[in-house]
Amino acid sequence: MSAHAHAPVGGRLVTVPFLVLAFLAAIALALLAGRFVYGLGAVTNLNDGYPWGIWVIIDIVIGTAFGCAGYAVSLIVYILNRGEYHPIVRSAVMASLFGYTLAGIAVMFDLGRYWNFYNLFLPWYAQPNSVMWEIALCVAGYITVLWIEFAPTFLERFGLHNAREKLSRVLFIIIALGVLLPTMHQSSLGSAIVILGHKVSPLWQTQFLPLLYLSSAILMGLALVPFESVLAALGLRRQLETGLMGRLNRVILVVGAIFLAVRFGDLLFRGALGHALAGDLRANMFLLESALFIGGLALLARQQAQRSARAQFIAAVTLLTAGILFRINSYLVGYEPVNGTWHYFPSVPEMLVTVGVFSIEILLYLVFVKKLPVLAKHA
């Protein structure tokens, strides 16, 4: 048996958790039907001061960061030539596939005139100087790349070995694009905040946001791997990959250290760190975000994290939560409209739709790992 062979997990597909997730997904779809019939105002608390809510911040900005698992692992395996992590490439690419595809669909929820979305791809409407245009094109391109990169899984499942062999000959081009595109649009998600200028608190507003967004996306993508690995082992009764995840922790530590060095070096250089002691909501959220980043990396630095699946899981959850807060803080908590007194807190339908989107992602994960050769075989 090849050490890199993959196989379906098998087992019963329709279980109690599956039905619960399907119920949550059905609620989200019903609410979205109302959104597309009656408009954004009928189901969201968006207003002129806060035109972006959790459908953009969580479903897209955070969802694509979760979807960087495939990007980060491919970067390590194919660019840094660390073949020891090859067994987890396919599951990492699948996580990216779900994260980005659902984020691409979620864009439609927030578009006021969604029926005009195709104009994005028309050359005569191209806006090369627009950050949002570049993000949209890169995300659309990366979704296409991910489906091609994941195609060998389908070809293996249905015995199309000749087609798989032909695809393998050109797959290196697709993989190269799969590394390039996220590098471009993840940094541009930070550039989109730079454009907001003084509307964003000095605790988050900096010219280094493109680098911080790129490094935090890699960090979150890598942290998602042990998170998913432990949950898959417990939920699907598979062997824990503690040794492999322990080695991956060293890479996470390096990326996390770079992120924190840039983050706090920039705050000190700009003299903005004093805002963290203001005692208001923004200051407290910054302190919580920073504590989670530092705490998660401190957990990984302990020798126990190299041998304990529990320690690896707790560290991964801590770092993922820190990354989520960094993005919510920089886009929502640290943002203040200039004109008028505006407030935003997501409505119940907004929250239920977001829960439904993540439920669909987990449902797809269960279907794919049980029916397709995604997870590595264990000897």
Q: What is the pTM of this model?
A: 0.90
Instruction: Reply yes or no on whether the pLDDT at 113 is more than 80.
Output: yes
In this prediction, residue 379 has a pLDDT band, given cuts at 50, 70 and 90, of low
DSSP 376: E
pLDDT band at 362 (very low <50, low <70, confident <90, very high): very high
- For the segment 121-138, the average pLDDT, to the nearest whole number, is 90
Q: How confident is the model at residue 44 (pLDDT cuts 50, 70, 90)?
A: very high
| Sequential DSSP letters for 231-299 | HHHHHTT----HHHHHHHHHHHHHHHHHHHHHHHHHHHHHT-GGGGGS-SHHHHHHHHHHHHHHHHHHH
With a cut of 60, say whether residue 1 has pLDDT above it.
no
Domains of the chain: 1-45+346-378 (no CATH), 46-338 (1.20.1630.10)
Rg (CA), the chain: 21
* Predicted pLDDT of residue 28: 95
pLDDT tens by residue, 151-191 = 999 999 888 889 888 888 888 888 888 888 888 888 889 99
Query: What digits encode the pLDDT tens for the residues 253-272?
Result: 999 999 999 999 999 999 99
Indicate the SS3 state at residue 7.
strand
More confident residue, 106 or 328: 328
Residue 335 has a pLDDT of 92
| Percentage, residues of the chain above pLDDT 90 | 49
Query: Phi/psi of residue 321, each to 5°?
Result: -65, -40
Q: How many residues does the chain have?
A: 379
As given in the structure block, the two tokens for residue 208 are 């280094």
One-letter identity of residue 82: R
Look at residue 77 in the predicted model and tell me its pLDDT: 84
